[in-house]
Amino acid sequence: MRHHCYDRGMPRWDPRAEERLGDAALELFVEHGYENVTVEQITERAGLTRRTFSRYFTDKRDVLFAGSEQIPGVLSGAVRRADAALPPFQALLVALVDIGEWFADLVPHAARRRAVIASSPELQERERTKLAAVTDALAEALRERGTPTSRATLLAQVGIAVFRTAFERWTDEPEPADFAARVREAATELAASLAPAAGLATVVPEDH
């Protein structure tokens, strides 16, 4: 039956194939543990062939990172498009909100994906490598707006921290609604936590 489908019955291009494979993979990773899942199990669960899998992904790890190579360019592009009059961190926040929905489409099942990644040192390493590339691209985009190198790196790292926090909170909601509100919330919360830094001399005295 599957053989029949594959040879003649199934369309060569299934617009939902990638999504079905991604859904099946995440389900299986959560059920059996990432290490124990094979590509064969993923294609079987999705009711698709290995050949179809190979059209979208190189291996099972790729299901978790497909498209991530686009993130640095998309995010730094959004920073470049932000109103030139905005100070750097505000330009960065606007850019984060701007790409939020695109990013959510790129990373479906974000909460489950996070749990799978947390279960494997190899996946964590890959995730950190990806995040570092995004941070570098963001810092470069801020430098192009005139922010000095050291400050651009600091703000890029902090911007990524705000984005991760906002995105995690947003995807943990049962029915995610307003991503922009989550970015605002995380940035405002951080600003409030840092505010006493202005009077920091009392905490970290000059003659420490």
- Closest separation between CB of residue 84 and its own copies, Å? 13
Nearest CB to its own copies, comparing residues 39 and 190: 190
Specify whether the backbone of 57 is left (phi greater than 0), alpha (psi in -120 to 50) or beta.
Answer: beta
Nearest CB to its own copies, comparing residues 31 and 101: 101
Tell me the two tokens of residue 165. 């926090």
Specify whether the backbone of 47 is left (phi greater than 0), alpha (psi in -120 to 50) or beta.
Answer: left
**Spatial CA neighbour of 41 closest among 15, 11, 21:** 21
| 3-class secondary-structure state, position 205 | coil
Quote the CA–CA distance of 188 and 202 in Å, as a whole number.
23
- Closest separation between CB of residue 181 and its own copies, Å? 7
Nearest CB to its own copies, comparing residues 53 and 89: 89
Residues near its own copies (CB under 8 A): 86-90, 93-94, 97, 124-125, 128-129, 132, 150-151, 153-155, 157-158, 160-162, 164-165, 168-169, 180-181, 183-184, 186-198, 200-201, 203-206, 208
- Closest separation between CB of residue 102 and its own copies, Å? 14
**Spatial CA neighbour of 123 closest among 60, 169, 70:** 60
- Closest separation between CB of residue 192 and its own copies, Å? 8
Quote the CA–CA distance of 93 and 53 in Å, as a whole number.
36
- Closest separation between CB of residue 37 and its own copies, Å? 24
**Spatial CA neighbour of 134 closest among 87, 187, 73:** 73
Nearest CB to its own copies, comparing residues 52 and 68: 68
Nearest CB to its own copies, comparing residues 5 and 201: 201
